[in-house]
Amino acid sequence: MRAARRDDGQRAFVGKELEHFEDVRRVMLVFLVAAAAGLAVIAVAVGLVRDRSVVRRGLIAGIRLTVAVFAAVGALMLVGFDAFFDGFHALFFEADTWQLPRLGTARSLYPDALWALMGGAIVALVLAQAAAIVIVLRRSGR
């Protein structure tokens, strides 16, 4: 991205955009490591726990928490996406480093409408995963 140029020869991304993309990479790495750690804990639990009902109860508790959190997130996005978007970024990024220039390349490639659609898609996919786990747990019996 640092080498990207516009047709007029100017740099495509300004310093603030590049800094934000680096911040996003770090936050995404944390999310991916946390997800991998969670899967590892589940795998170890399945392998070590003799009483499968303990694993089942743990998964169900996790599903309930996930559904509650993502339903709330989805509702917040529907009620006021801009407020949600600002709050989300304030939580994960320091100061105003995430507030990119309105006429910058990043905002033209990734407009606000894209993030509203992607946020909704992520909520829907997470809730679908939770529903799939519930279906598998019910079919596998007690």
pTM of the model: 0.74
Q: Is residue 71 part of a domain?
A: yes
Residues with Cβ within 8 Å of residue 121, at least 6 apart in sequence: none
Which residue shows structure tokens 């529903």? 131
Instruction: Tell me, yes or no, whether 66 lies in a domain.
Output: yes
Assess if residue 4 is contained within a domain. Answer: no
pLDDT tens, residue order, the chain (142 aa): 888 898 898 889 988 899 889 999 999 999 999 999 998 998 898 889 888 888 888 888 999 999 999 999 999 999 999 899 889 898 888 877 788 888 888 888 888 889 999 999 999 999 999 999 888 888 876 5
3-state secondary structure of 99: coil
Residue 47 inside a domain? The answer is: yes
Could you give the number of structural domains in the chain?
1
Retrieve residue 68's tokens: 């509650």
Q: Give me the domain span that covers residue 100.
A: 15-139
How many residues in total does the chain contain? Answer: 142
Strand partners, 11: 5
Q: Which of 136, 107, 117, 119 is nearest to 16 (CA)?
A: 107
Q: Determine, yes or no, domain membership for 3.
A: no
